Amino acid sequence: MEKKVISTVIFAFAGWFLFSIISGFKLLNQDQKPWPVPDKYKTMKNAVAADAESISAGKTLWTTHCKSCHGTKGLGDGPKAAQLKTEPGDFSKADVQSQTDGSLLQNLRGP
């Protein structure tokens, strides 16, 4: 029973973390400078292990909350992207892919 509760808490955190990073990522426009990321975030590791279970949960969250704007491959070309007031962002770009998990989390929080 206790193991199931711990597993549920981990999945809830994993879901929140993945959803926050993917759906709320605030990549700045090209003409703006990126936010400074404190060192503690640059080196912060993801608390959720990448395994079949967490990847499956992430895919479900992506399909439910992100795909309609960011598209199947995260290019920002989903069917609802044109309806947004801001560009959803292209997660395949090198400046996004090169960031650590902690840097992405800090970008969600802002400067």
Strand residues in the chain grouped as ranges (E)? none
The 10s digit of each residue's pLDDT in 72-105 is: 999 999 999 999 888 888 889 888 888 888 888 7
Question: What pLDDT, in 10s, does the model give residues 6-51?
Answer: 555 555 555 555 555 554 554 444 455 666 788 888 888 888 888 9
- Extract the tokens encoding 108: 């969600």
- Would you state the structure tokens that stand for residue 61, as one six-digit string? 């969250």
pLDDT of residue 15: 57
Contacts of 61 (CB under 8 A, 6+ apart): 15, 18, 19, 22
pTM for this predicted structure: 0.60
**Residue 69 pLDDT greater than 70, yes or no:** yes
